[in-house]
Structure 1
Amino acid sequence: MKTDRRKEHKFILRLSIIACLLFLTGCWGKREVEDLAPLLGIGFDQGEKPGTFLVTEQFARPKKDSSSGAEIEDRTFSVEASSSREAFEKFSKVAYRTPFMGSLKVIIIGEDFAKSGDFNNVLDFAQRYAEFRRSMYIVLAKGKALDLLNLKLRSGLLPAMAIKSNIEGGDEISVFPTVRLGHYLTILGEKSTAPIFPVVESVKTGEGVEYKTDVKDEAGEIRIQGAGVMRGDYLADFLTDEESKGYMWLENDVVHRLINTVDLEENSIKFGGQVIESSTKYKVKANNDKMELQYKIKTSIAIDEIMGLKKQLSGPEWVELVKQAEKDFAKVIEKECNSSIKKERELGLDFLGIGRHIEQKNSKYWKTIRDQWEAEIADFPISLEVLVTIHHSGMSSSSATNSGGEGQE
């Protein structure tokens, strides 16, 4: 009896498995990887004809003589179109493989196009089309996106991959914002906050950097510096490097930072260091019958450099020097933050997200001012407190300029 039951159970199990297999759809609509053209970067510029824009796409093409699939060659096209779908149709006609949007790393918005007001119309396609991922980066170009994507870099990297690498290594210096498509779309839903994007530019030798080149008429290297502030669909203005650094402090986006006190004229001794840890918190409190946003920045810094120290210091003198370093680093941070706050007041655009902070901390008060928030920005009270702690002062308690200092035989 037991044997018959087991046979019956096995027969039912086999029959169930066969039935399941019959209902599986399989990969009828699959596309082989070899038949796809992976898209790495896409740029948008103003078109020559009214109502059009210039689209530049950079695809990856594996090198034929390469044993590694990681080595790719440049394959960049530009077309003029009146819509994103029209542009992709034109690309599909000239590409020998089907363009694949899921591999896109970065969207580059040209300066003139960002000022035209068509910016969000283009991104609407990226938001709706299923192949686009919201994790892709968005940057503004200083100049044309076309020129950036056509750069020949000395590293051999394609510009789209170089921009991606620079962005993903940005935490080491924390001087520009990182913006993904999904983050930008979220900010658009918060009407009080003005979107902000990092700015990418090409740098020729002699423009703040020197390098040797054997390529005639080479355009230069790629640098990410500063940021652009949007007013709705329009580029309102650029932030300087200092203003962008202030934004990073106030947004609590500083992971690591290289920082120095060279620009402080009141002291003969200058310090250089790196941020080990940083935290920015804020409160919304009443102050003299007015509401005020209070920022408190706490950061830990390791001293890497001391310049201008001419003598060997005693223990108490060294303690006083470290205290001076803490004050000087705090002044630099305050200067950067105040530059960013000043820019916000001048533009009347809340790229710092102050309105968002007020809404989170005191929603009842926010409802009374949100309708006239742009007018309130110019003189809304903001206070700033910066506390710096020296984590350590390096491997030496003396300076290389000391006579009789450490390291001598």
Structure 2
Amino acid sequence: MPKTLWKYSLLILVVFLGGCWDRVEIEERGFVVGAAVDFPKEGDEGNEMEEDAANKPHGKHRYLLTLQLVVPGSMSQGAKTGGGAGSGGDAYYNISSVGDTMFQTDRQLANRVSRSPFFPHMKILIISEEVARSGHLPDIMDFFLRDSEMRRGVKVMISKGEAREVLGVKPVNEKLPAMYIDSVTENERSSSATLPDPLRIGDLNEKLLTRESFIIPRIKSAGKEVKIGGVAVFEGEENKMVEWLGGEEVMGLAILKGTLKGGAININVGDNLVSYETKGDIKRKIKADISDKENMKFIFTIESEGIITESMETIDYLNDPAKWVLVQNRVADEMKRMAEKTIRKLQKEMKLDVIGLSTYLAQNYPELWKSVGKDWDHGENYFSKATLHVKARVIVRNPGTVNQTEPLQED
């Protein structure tokens, strides 16, 4: 073999052999499935040595980071469900540390576990209400967004109470609390419309960059379960949590945004209840009068089609079409009532637009938006000065059967 060719062959071989120099074996990974961020309480301590902590720089706040890591050997069929660190056979353990930054806290945790934290399989990030109200959400998210291992599909939630308590729930039918929480957030697609859509890290990053007001779903620990419902409303200028929206207000928000799916709406007919369920997406149209920017007018027109899923009132729809119209009108009135309740809360109390009117104006009236955008829901707050009306139209496609064993009643 020529000497030159031999040198090139050796060089190529060295390049290929060095391709896995920084590989970490899977057995050495600490798989993180959930994380929680709180402010530390009295008794929560960091992991730095006392002599190192004396003169080092400190941030405005110290954070308590809790990670939920998988115990691979306990994920077998016979492993116990529930539990936590220190209980033999559990499929996970939670570990916490205090630090001035997320990165510092993460590295301190790495010094205490046998496997370095590995984030690509993380499902849930929970931030406490206290932290959310402090305005430090962007600081916290900076660490998770910069981490090259972090996937943009991680779901973000705000906890009512301490975030680490949520990761400490002990579900009956799941080995990992974080996976249980992840599954519960997906149930909203086929259950109650009062459950908000999940918010993922990638979407939150966009909201933080646009500086528009936004919402994040609420979660609360309840023993062996979690309760998900309502949303935290954030002011986009300072990215600080302002207030909660409750279940009915979240449904009203979904109606206004045209995102309501599978929502069950109860109405009174006679002395009993009738339950209506939307089928498919509702249709939302907005008509605007922007002739006076100090008093802009918006009309939301909502159209919904659905079915009667349950009726405690005996109604003969076939022989009395007027009853059919009555039910449709009452469902429409109920949708309008919930939407208007949400408008009052957002426009008069919070004075924040999470309905999407800012996006509507920016897309359809860009010249106007240039003059009012900086003062839309802060400063001059044109949003709070605007007049919002709601119109609703409902079509019942399938009223269901009639219970002939009960006498028909007049409304």
- Determine if the TM-score, normalized by the shorter chain, exceeds 0.5: yes
Instruction: Name whichever of 331-340 and 247-256 sits farther off.
Output: 247-256
Name the counterpart of 1:286. 289
Relative to structure 1, is the Cα distance of residues 36 and 360 closer, same or farther in structure 2, using a 3 angstrom cutoff? same
State how many pairs are aligned: 365
Q: Is 1:190 paired with 2:210?
A: yes
Return the offset for 1:67. 4.6
Unaligned runs of 5+ in 2: 1-7, 43-59, 82-89
Return the offset for 1:37. 1.4
Name the counterpart of 2:337. 335
Alignment partner of 2:148: what SS? coil
Name the counterpart of 1:207. none
Alignment partner of 2:329: what SS? helix
Q: Is 1:350 paired with 2:353?
A: yes
Name the counterpart of 1:222. 226
Alignment partner of 1:133: what SS? coil
Name the counterpart of 2:324. 322
Deviations 1:58-85 (A, max 9, x none): 1112344825999871210111111111
Return the offset for 1:326. 1.2
For residues 375 and 318 of structure 2, the distance between their equivalents in structure 1, rounded to whole angstroms, comes to: 56
Supply the AA of the counterpart residue of 2:406: N
Supply the AA of the counterpart residue of 1:33: I
Name the counterpart of 2:26. 33
Relative to structure 1, is the Cα distance of residues 55 and 400 closer, same or farther in structure 2, using a 3 angstrom cutoff? farther
For residues 22 and 360 of structure 2, the distance between their equivalents in structure 1, rounded to whole angstroms, comes to: 47
Q: Paired residue for 2:147, among 120, 129, 140?
A: 129
Question: Normalised by the size of structure 2, how large is the TM-score?
Answer: 0.81
Name the counterpart of 2:110. 92
Conserved? CA contact 1:198–1:227, under 8 Å = yes
Q: Is 1:313 paired with 2:316?
A: yes
Instruction: Name whichever of 129-138 and 272-281 sits farther off.
Output: 272-281
Q: Is 1:146 paired with 2:164?
A: yes
Question: Normalised by the size of structure 1, how large is the TM-score?
Answer: 0.81
Return the offset for 1:333. 1.4
Relative to structure 1, is the Cα distance of residues 23 and 314 closer, same or farther in structure 2, using a 3 angstrom cutoff? closer
Unaligned runs of 5+ in 1: 1-15, 204-218, 405-409
Q: Is 1:57 paired with 2:67?
A: yes
**Percent of matched pairs sharing the same residue:** 22
Name the counterpart of 1:75. 93
Relative to structure 1, is the Cα distance of residues 63 and 296 closer, same or farther in structure 2, using a 3 angstrom cutoff? farther
Supply the AA of the counterpart residue of 2:201: L
Name the counterpart of 2:51. none
For residues 297 and 28 of structure 1, the distance between their equivalents in structure 2, rounded to whole angstroms, comes to: 59
Deviations 1:270-291 (A, max 9, x none): 2113221123333343277664
Deviations 1:72-115 (A, max 9, x none): 71210111111111111111112111210111111101111112
Relative to structure 1, is the Cα distance of residues 400 and 371 closer, same or farther in structure 2, using a 3 angstrom cutoff? same
Return the offset for 1:144. 0.4
Name the counterpart of 1:212. none
For residues 287 and 370 of structure 2, the distance between their equivalents in structure 1, rounded to whole angstroms, comes to: 14
Relative to structure 1, is the Cα distance of residues 333 and 300 closer, same or farther in structure 2, using a 3 angstrom cutoff? same
